[in-house]
A and B are shown apart, each in its own frame.
Chain A
Amino acid sequence: MSTPATKSQPVYPELEWDRTGTHHILFVAAEDAALARRLYASPPAGTLTVIHVADPAAGETAWNKDLPPQALHLAAPSLGDGLKLLNDALYVAQMGTRIYLAGPEDAIWQASQMADGYGVGRDEVRHAQIGSKARPVFCVHCRTITRGVHTNLVACSGCDRTLFVRDHFSRRLGAYMGFQIDAEVPGDVPAAEVIYP
């Protein structure tokens, strides 16, 4: 894992259980069979709640089979439902809880904002980027967040300006900064490249 040039850009170390915790909430919003197998093979001590965002049609996946015996698995058909379940879990959670958020950045940083609202410190939450590498992009001009951005340039869903996607990241907004690429010379827009597959 290389260190990003822009220090606000999140780095995602390999997800591990924090065994100093006594309760664990795992929120997953993408499939990653290898990660699921690895985590489930050596679960931490204490309670474990798995909130699993997945299309019900997907049936059995690595996140809902071979669960550790103590795990409570909660299925959510959509990200919105998953965030509601997470909110319920945080509401009753107690000190000693560790929170693991795994999925595309859009999902895990929305979940992270929810944990922030409960006064959770950074040493209580771990993030893992799995599934799509698409970025949520905050338009600094009109303040709309455009989600699922795979390219370095994107049309803002709010104001239609062509935004350049920077590496500068706001945890509070859960998004990368986008600014108008052709502000200096209007119309001077290079071809977009897919860099966040």
Chain B
Amino acid sequence: MSIAFKPDETFRGDYSYRNSPVAIRRFPFPFPQDQYMYSVNIEPHTKGPAGSVFENAFDIDEHYVAEMRDRAITLERDPGRCMSLPHMIDAEWDTLELIMESLARDYPDLFQLHRDGARWSWINRPLGLEQTFTFGDVATLPCPPFEYITRQCQGDFVIMDQRDNDLWADSGMITSQADWSLMFDVGMSFKEWHGPVPLAHDMGIFERALKYLLMLQQGRPVRRLNWTMTINPRLDTSPETYPEWGPDRTTVTPDNVGDKVHLRVELQGLFRLPRSNGMLFSIRGYLASLNDLATHPRWAKRLHRVLTTLPNELAEYKGLVRYRQTAIDWLAKFDDGADLGTGTQPE
């Protein structure tokens, strides 16, 4: 497989990020039904169809090089976007091993890993990196292992420590989040961390999800999709930088809504980590503008219905209130009211 990277596209300033038709087609559209509500929508993270975002454990796509550069910019401005509590060092190495093994196995022309006992050599061709290091010896890497590997893998990452029948968000690399702060949330229990999410607590969603995840087994990762919306193809929509991107929400007009408003889908993976008994939570984000989605009319119809029926608490929480109606009005022209059946397929 070969991927045509777009190394020069940007996620800030002139926002030159664009999806190719192939990227749009593989977009993980999250709505199987006309109405959206929370559910414990967890399924095994098994190998999906070739070319799909589910094909590999960690999906690498045409935006890889540009996303990694955007992460480096964010970290340069604010090193606090990567944090790890001291007891997490084994889980950091677990994460490095899992990601290196997966990328080298799934993308052998892009990444290579050679292991000679504890002596490891890593080659990252797209970013032009080569590193020989001793597994388990932090001093042999340019930065701690979790930061090192997550600077080279698309998506945000949290590592949870398992103790007292709970999962604690004790490490994170968070530079492309849907408005939550790692600096504030690090060290929280599973329910505290999800504290601000409306409705789901009372539905018992987190209770059931936690019980399930506590028993997650090695080698049997699971996944789910989550979503929100973002104005402009911006990765760094953090609370920290809210004054930078918040005003964009007021700029949506009937003329630019197709370009500006993006559906942002998170492919979330959960992996039991072997030596720490911790859990890696990968949050791989995908952005598609309404124009992108409208190239597949079934998706435009579905999104129109989901936005129309979305409970106000969720619209408020996801920050859609200022532009929801503009988006609904724009999408209406695609929706002939035909029965779409269930499923997320584009046609």
Query: Which A residues are within 8 Å of any B CB, using their own CB?
Result: 5-9, 121-122, 138, 140-141, 143, 161, 166-173, 177, 179-180, 183-186
Contacts and interface: CB of A to CB of B under 8 A. Distances in A.
Nearest to A5: B198
B187 A168 contact: no
Contacts of A121: 164
B196 A8 contact: yes
10 contacts: A7-B194, A7-B201, A9-B195, A140-B240, A140-B242, A141-B240, A161-B243, A168-B184, A179-B242, A186-B247
Contact of B196 (A138, A168, A173): A168
A184 B245 CA distance: 8
B191 interface: yes
Contacts of A143: 80, 183
Size category, B interface: 20 to 34
With most chain B CB atoms within 10 A of its CB, the pick from A161, A170, A171 is A170
B232 to A, nearest CB: 14
A173 B186 CA distance: 10
B246 interface: yes
A140 B191 contact: no
B239 A177 contact: yes
A138 B239 CA distance: 12
A170 B195 CA distance: 10
B181 interface: yes
B201 A179 contact: no
Contact of B187 (A6, A138, A140, A171): A171
Contact of B195 (A7, A122, A173): A7
B187 A172 contact: yes
Contacts of B201: 7
Contacts of B183: 140, 143
Contacts of A161: 243
Contacts of B329: none
Interface string B247-278: 10110000000000000000000000000000
